[in-house]
């Protein structure tokens, strides 16, 4: 039973090295975990896409079609997952790269100050009352 007043609670403290708050994008462990998670998400996305494509093919197939036969569905799903893992490992769709660009900003790149937007070439809103 978990005691609420226990000082060794299951929740990580903010000062713990293993807590997400202590991780920074410059930390190599954070970068490795972020990369692994991004590649796994891309694999999940590709696998889901292949599953939906196979489902659509099955629905459109005729009654006597090879694609309608449910005999090898388990093996085909395993093959789809392996193909998805391999494609995600090669970053074929670029989803992992897009995620990593957001999670891991370029090391040492200065953050540009926001420049004011020039309104010279912007058209006036159509719904603005004059």
Average pLDDT per run of 10 along the chain, which is 130 residues long?
Answer: 49 47 72 94 96 90 80 88 94 93 71 46 50
Half-sphere exposure of 120 (CA within 13 A, CB side): 2
Q: Is the model's pTM score more than 0.85? A: no
Cβ(82)–Cβ(47) below 8 Å: no
Cβ(19)–Cβ(13) below 8 Å: yes
**Closest among 48, 50, 46, 52 to 89, alpha carbons compared:** 46
Half-sphere exposure of 122 (CA within 13 A, CB side): 5
State residue 37's pLDDT score.
95
Q: Give dist(CA 117, CA 94) in Å, integer.
A: 30
CA distances from 110 to 23, 105, 106, 115 (A): 20, 10, 9, 14
């Amino acid at each position: 039973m978990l005691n609420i007043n226990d000082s060794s609670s299951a929740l990580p403290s903010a000062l713990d090295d293993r807590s997400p708050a202590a991780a920074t994008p410059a930390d190599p462990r954070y970068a490795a975990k972020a990369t692994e998670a991004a590649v796994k998400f891309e694999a999940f996305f590709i696998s889901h896409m292949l599953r939906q494509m196979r489902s659509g093919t099955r629905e459109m197939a005729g009654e006597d079609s090879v694609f309608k036969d449910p005999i090898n569905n388990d093996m085909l799903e395993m093959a789809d997952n392996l193909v998805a893992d391999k494609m995600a490992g090669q970053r074929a769709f670029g989803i992992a790269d897009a995620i990593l660009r957001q999670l891991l900003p370029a090391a040492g790149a200065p953050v540009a100050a926001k420049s004011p937007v020039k309104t010279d070439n912007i058209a006036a809103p159509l719904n603005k009352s004059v």
